[in-house]
Structure formats: structure tokens, C-alpha cells
Structure 1
Amino acid sequence: MKTSARRLRARAACLAALLLPLAAAQAQEAAAQPSEAIALAAQAYLQEQLASLPGQPSIAIDPPRAEHLTPCDAMSPFMPSGIRLRSRMTVGVRCNAPKPWTTYVQATVSVPGQYYVASRMIAAGQALTPNDLAPRDGDLVSLPPGAITNPQTVVGMTAAYRINAGQPVRGSSLRNAQSVLRGTNVRINARGAGFVVSSEGQALDNAAPGAMVQVRTASGQVVSGVVRNAGLVEIQL
């Protein structure tokens, strides 16, 4: 009887030793961050980034590997430094709580739509009309930044330099009489609740009215503001 009892205890110990790693693996799997939630967070972020393009975006997220990640209560998607929107790209997803972690997922994006190219050679300084543009169909994500998608936006603009026939027309290749030009001095109005503080600075880029531009102040600080006209940039405090 004693021998039988010892054998039973030995068998039970062996069975427990075999089941323990399995139970630990199941517990770890149960405590892992669901990969679907990471994919949804990245997809929602890309939807926001593509919202300014006129078209219905298509977004495909590669299945994330999340088995090594702990469950997260607050995820923050972001664009890695130096990365811009393109057909094949990386999106970062950062967990803020309860245990911080960061992972990266791969995404394929496209926005089918219409953009415009020069219908003929446009000389530098020439005033543009919608007749100077020709429509083309394509993936708006793969176009150069600032490609024109609305022909009416060129009305009142002039070409900053020659634009060859068939070349996509970009906002940065056009000038408005009220645009801020890189290197020019502008007045900076910083507006707060009931007050306005004015100073001087130098524009670091070209920008049309209503667009954001960076300006270097006399003290060397770089600030961002909205172009109001060729000589005024406004900052909201």
C-alpha cells in the first residue's frame, strides 16, 4: 500500500511538472494585449491623417505581434520621426498605462482621387487659371506633398518658377501676392485673452494666407503661426 501511494504521488508530481509550463503559457497568453486593438488604434490614426485628402482612403494593417505586450488601458498611435504618409509605411503605437511599451506596425494606404498637372509649360511669374491645369487620376498618397487637388485654388496665384507640361502642380510652386516668402521679415502678433504682443521675425519658409509657417524671432526662438498676409503672422496664446 505504501509503495502504491508513493507511486501515485510520483505520478501526480510528474503530471504537475508537465502541466505547469502549459498553464503558465496559457496565463501569459490570457494577459497579452489583443493585437486587434493595436491594429484598430493604428487604423483610426491613419484615418485622421488622411482626412485632408479628397477621397475614400483604403487602409490595410499587417497583423501586429502582441503576444509579448501587456494589456494597455491607454494607447497613443504616432508617426515615427522622419516618416510621412506614403503607400507603405510604419505606424508606432505607444502604451501609456498601466505598463509602458511601444510597438510598430506596418500599413498599406491609398487614396484614389484626382489631382492636377500643368496642361502646358507655365513660365515663372505667370498668373494661373484653372485652364492651365489638366486632371489626372491616381493615388493621392503617392503624390508630392502639396499637390493641387482643387483647380480653383490656383486662381490669383503666380508660378514661382517654371512648371513643365505634365508636371504635378504643387502649392509650394505657386505664389500669392499676400504669401509670406522665406527669408523675409514679418511682424508677429501674439494674441491672448484681451491682449496682443507684437514683435519682429524672419519667415523660415514660403506660406500662403491661412497656412502655418515657422518664424525665427530676434532672440533666435522659432515659433509657428498662421499667415494673415505678406507681412503678418499671428500666434494664438
Structure 2
Amino acid sequence: MLEAPPSSTRPWARFVPWLGLLCLLLAVPAPAADEALLDRVRAFLTDEARALGDAPRITLHPPAAHFPACESPRPFLPKASRPPLGRVSVGVRCGEAGRRTRYLQAEVAVVGTYLETARAIGAGERLGRRDLVERRGDLGRLPRQALRDLDAAIGQVARRSLAGGQVVQAHQLRLPRLVGRGDRVRLEARGEGFRVTRQGEALEAGGRGERIRVRLADRRILEARIIGPQRLVVDN
């Protein structure tokens, strides 16, 4: 009868108990503090996304490593100027002073309204109501600059040709030109109880509300806001 070799001839045998302990540790669920943090982030993203459309769905991707408990978590969006759609990064300030910050990745899906072209649009064409159609779908799957406001798009001009049925994006449109480069313009300066008007030359083209540079007769260059055809105002 063959006997098993002594444990000294099997060096790996002494690691077996440790392997069992490691498996038990890996099976331990995340601490309740981590779950509370994820719930707070999920509620924050749901509130942020609700203004964009209906039925927001939030999928969180927590980091694999466990960190110390995050007390008084305060989520925020590092890129606040962008709508929270698609894959986003979420920051969380921890503690009353917010000295520690964590970052999580998330997927945000929202059903909402966006705009498509109803027909082929030529470069330089001004968009009317019949040129656009409203669609509904997952906004997170659209380009980041996809337009959703019909009234804001009507009256704008296509920078280039657009195919029919194409998602309309902000960078594809511009405001109608009210001032052209080299135009003679009237420049107004307003203040408490006074109004001064001078003539100048537009150094840039632009539409209503845009700010451009204007050269005066004495060669000074000012920045002014377009308020009408060949009319600008210097804001205080």
C-alpha cells in the first residue's frame, strides 16, 4: 500500500488554508456604507436627468477597490455644463469639509424629444417649422450636441448641407447674420441717464446676441453685442 508523501514534500499544502480564507473574504458583500453612497449617487443622477426627459435609468459602475467610508456624501458633476447623458463621471465629496473626493462611472439613459431634419437642407438655408420633425428616443445614444428645443432651432441657418432624417446638432447651425465683416455699423453706449451713438466698422460677422469687435474712426477697437441689423451696443 502506497503512503501519501509527507507534507514537507508538498510545499503548496501549507497555502491551502489561506486560499480558503481568501475565498471567504472575496465573498463578503460590500459594506453598508458603500451601498448608502451608491444610493445617494443614484438619487442625484435621477434628479439631474429627470429634467431632460422621462423614465431615467441609472447604471452605476463602482470601483473594484473598497475605500474608507464616505461620510455625508455630496455628489456633483465634474463637467456641469454637459447634460448627464450616456456615460458620465460623477464626483462625490466626502466629510463635512469635503476634503476627500471619489469618482464613479455611470450610464444614464433618458427617453426624451430631439430634432431631425424633415428634408434635405442646403448650406445657408434658414430653417422653418416644416423643415424639422420631433422624435422620441434614448437621448444618451445621440450626439452630445443634439438639439431638443424646436423653438430655438427655428430661424437658424444651416452651416452646411444636411441630409433628410438627420439628427440636428448645435454646431451645424448658426444665427442669421445681422452684421457682416466690414459693414458700417452704429455703435451705442448706454448708461444712467445718457446714450451715445458712434459709427464704426465691424471686424467680424455675427448674429443677434453675439459679441464682435468694432473699430472706431480713431482706430480704437471695442467689443460690442449685436442687437439688430448693423446695430450694436457696448455693455457696461
What TM-score do you get using the length of structure 2 for normalisation?
0.54
Contact 1:179 1:208 in 2 (8 A): yes
* Alignment length (residue pairs): 190
Q: What are the within-5 Å matches in structure 2 for residues 198-217 of structure 1? A: 209=209
1: CA distance between counterparts of 2:228 and 2:39?
42
Q: What are the within-5 Å matches in structure 2 for residues 1-237 of structure 1? A: 33-41=33-41, 43-45=43-45, 47-48=47-48, 50=49, 52-62=51-61, 67-72=67-72, 75-79=74-78, 85-95=84-94, 97-98=96-97, 100-177=99-176, 209=209
User: What amino acid does structure 2 have at the position aligned with 1:155?
Assistant: I
Q: Could you list the per-position Cα deviations for residues 146-195 of structure 1 after superposition, in whole angstroms to 9, with x for gaps in the alignment?
A: 323243433322222211222211233223336899xxxxx8x999xx89
Contact 2:71 2:95 in 1 (8 A): no
Over aligned residues, Cα RMSD in angstroms? 5.1
Q: Percent identity?
A: 26
Gaps of 5+ in 2: 1-30, 181-186, 194-201, 214-224
Q: Could you list the per-position Cα deviations for residues 199-218 of structure 1 after superposition, in whole angstroms to 9, with x for gaps in the alignment?
A: xxx999x8874xxx8989xx
When Rg is computed on C-alpha atoms for both structures, the one with the higher figure is: 2
What TM-score do you get using the length of structure 1 for normalisation?
0.54
2: CA distance between counterparts of 1:117 and 1:165?
8
Report what 2:218 is aligned to.
none
Report what 1:220 is aligned to.
none
How far 1:132 moved relative to its partner? Answer: 1.4
Q: 1:164 aligns to what SS in structure 2?
A: coil
Gaps of 5+ in 1: 1-30, 182-186, 196-201, 217-225
Contact 2:46 2:56 in 1 (8 A): no
Q: 2:54 aligns to what SS in structure 1?
A: coil
1: CA distance between counterparts of 2:233 and 2:56?
33
How far 1:119 moved relative to its partner? Answer: 2.1
